[in-house]
């Protein structure tokens, strides 16, 4: 996507041809800073600390983390160690497992001498594929926005609610939930986006609002608890969110709070769409509540809030009473029954075994992540 007229992906090779450059998303929106990753350990740290985040981007970063590891030591032991290190960074986004399985499949049978080149090539292919998958999600999601626009008075915007950040910053480019929004805006369809701030890390207020503002898409940040009220008052025409892992039966794990939005949407007859590329589907499980691991992050993410102080410095302040602890589940699971449709790179389908198998017979039949 473009920032100040310059096109960016979220991950790219440095001019030295081997270090991997990422945008430090913990510094956005107030500072646009990049980090050059030079080792698998640095890639793992970037994922754990959410310098990079978003299921597809986590996978892409892990893939390049394996390439960095192979550059240092292309032995079997080093490959296994890198896969284990990167696989242990964050538990919920299945794209991480998918990408690491792709890298293992591309490298394990090669001689060590061939692994570095093959690793960088496979990581680059994963990134290029993600761009194409997300663009296709945009194209398949666009009609869902256009059909609502066609029913509204000329010029009246389609009001879309989204949760967390499932934009280009969560992927290599385009995003998932935001891809149809970008294409609708670019097609001249009047839209307005309600942006859930998305506590505790504020990916909505800090990242989605930053993305949409940079692209000229009208948007309003709201507290996480306002969405249901807006839906009750007819101010939301549809909800589009991303996902970190969706089961073969259409249960959706996404940022904490998504389930509550889905309940409110269901209660108010508001379409609730989930946008995802196929590497986000875990074909090996059906029951999301039982089988999707939910990441528990540090309590400090809840007890403290960071932002831009009046003196221009980015600071962190405590916002919870001293002595009180905090629980911080980072995701929740929305059952398929609350999902109107899934928007994928191959089209729109029901959130069901049948719906997904119809679009992905080749992948559903395997029953594995890759």
Ligand X SMILES: CSC[C@H]1O[C@H](OP(=O)(O)O)[C@H](O)[C@@H]1O
Annotated binding residues? 53-55, 90, 203, 254-255
Please state at what angle helix 76-87 crosses helix 55-72, rounded to 10 degrees: 150
Q: Which stretch binds ligand X (CB under 6 A): 8-16, 209-217, 236-244, 315-323?
A: 236-244
- Binding residue for ligand X, selected from 97, 102, 199, 255, defined by CB under 6 A: 255
Q: Is 61 in the site for ligand X (CB under 6 A)?
A: no
- Binding residue for ligand X, selected from 173, 211, 224, 244, defined by CB under 6 A: 244
Bridge-based pairing of strands 347-349 and 341-344 is antiparallel
Sign of CA dihedral 59, 64, 69, 74: positive
Please tell me the count of residues contacting ligand X according to CB under 6 A.
16
Q: Which stretch binds ligand X (CB under 6 A): 34-42, 51-59, 307-315, 344-352?
A: 51-59
- Binding residue for ligand X, selected from 61, 202, 203, 247, defined by CB under 6 A: 203
Binding residues for substrate: 53-55, 90, 203, 254-255
**Which residue lies nearer to ligand X by CB, 57 or 264?**
57
Cβ atoms of residues 102 and 110 within 8 Å: no
CB proximity list for 84: less than 8 A, separation 6 or greater: none
DSSP 132-200: HHHHHHHHHHHHHHHHHHTTSPTTPPEEEEE-S--SGGGSSSS-STTHHHHHHHHTT--EEEEEE--TT
Q: Which stretch binds ligand X (CB under 6 A): 8-16, 48-56, 281-289, 306-314?
A: 48-56
Residue 237 annotated as catalytic: no
**Which residue lies nearer to ligand X by CB, 119 or 172?**
172
Interface positions, 3-22, toward ligand X (CB under 6 A): none
Binding map of ligand X across residues 321-350, x = CB under 6 A, - = no contact: ---------x--------------------
- Binding residue for ligand X, selected from 89, 254, 278, 344, defined by CB under 6 A: 254
Q: Is 53 in the site for ligand X (CB under 6 A)?
A: yes
Interface positions, 160-199, toward ligand X (CB under 6 A): 164, 166, 170-171, 176
Cβ atoms of residues 134 and 171 within 8 Å: yes
**Spatial separation of the C-alpha atoms in residues 97 and 283, rounded to whole Å:** 12
**Which residue lies nearer to ligand X by CB, 173 or 237?**
173
Catalytic choice (173, 196, 244, 282): 244
**Spatial separation of the C-alpha atoms in residues 325 and 148, rounded to whole Å:** 44
**Spatial separation of the C-alpha atoms in residues 105 and 33, rounded to whole Å:** 33
- Binding residue for ligand X, selected from 138, 200, 227, 242, defined by CB under 6 A: 242
Question: What's the gap between Cα 196 and its chain centre?
Answer: 15
- Calculate ∠ Cα 90-95-100, nearest 5°: 85
Residues that bind ligand X (CB under 6 A): 53-56, 164, 166, 170-171, 176, 203, 241-242, 244, 254-255, 330
Q: Which residues are catalytic?
A: 244
């Amino acid at each position: 996507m473009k920032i100040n007229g310059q096109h960016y992906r979220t991950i790219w090779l440095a001019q030295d041809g081997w270090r991997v450059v990422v945008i430090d998303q913990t510094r956005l929106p107030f500072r646009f800073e990049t980090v050059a990753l030079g080792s698998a350990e640095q890639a793992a740290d970037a994922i754990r600390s959410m310098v990079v985040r978003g299921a597809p981007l986590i996978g892409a970063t892990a893939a390049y983390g394996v390439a960095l590891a192979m550059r240092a030591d292309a032995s079997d032991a080093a490959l296994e160690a890198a896969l284990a290190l990167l696989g242990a960074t964050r538990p919920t986004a299945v794209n991480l497992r998918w990408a690491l399985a792709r890298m293992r499949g591309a490298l394990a049978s090669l001689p060590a001498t061939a692994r570095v080149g093959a690793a960088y090539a496979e990581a680059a292919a994963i990134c290029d594929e993600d761009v194409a998958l997300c663009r296709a999600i945009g194209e398949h999601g666009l009609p869902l926005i256009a059909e609502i626009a066609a029913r509204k008075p000329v010029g009246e915007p389609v009001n879309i609610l989204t949760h967390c950040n499932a934009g280009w910053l969560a992927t290599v480019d385009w995003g998932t939930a935001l891809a149809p929004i970008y294409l609708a805006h670019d097609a001249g369809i009047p839209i307005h986006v309600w942006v859930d701030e998305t506590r505790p890390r504020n990916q909505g207020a800090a990242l989605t609002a930053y993305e949409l503002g940079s692209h000229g898409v009208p948007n309003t940040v709201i507290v996480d608890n306002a969405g249901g009220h807006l839906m009750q008052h007819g101010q939301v025409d549809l909800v589009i969110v991303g996902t970190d892992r969706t089961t073969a039966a259409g249960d959706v794990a996404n940022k904490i709070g998504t389930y509550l939005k889905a309940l409110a949407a269901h209660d108010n007859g508001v379409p609730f769409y989930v946008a995802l590329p196929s590497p986000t589907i875990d074909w090996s499980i059906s029951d999301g509540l039982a089988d999707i691991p939910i990441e528990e992050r540090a309590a400090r993410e809840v007890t403290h809030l960071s932002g831009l102080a009046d003196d221009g410095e980015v600071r962190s302040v405590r916002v919870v009473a001293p002595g009180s602890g905090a629980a911080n589940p980072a995701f929740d699971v929305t059952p398929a029954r609350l999902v109107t449709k899934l928007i994928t790179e191959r089209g729109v389908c029901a959130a069901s075994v049948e719906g997904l198998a119809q679009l992905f017979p080749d992948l559903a039949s395997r029953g594995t992540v890759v």
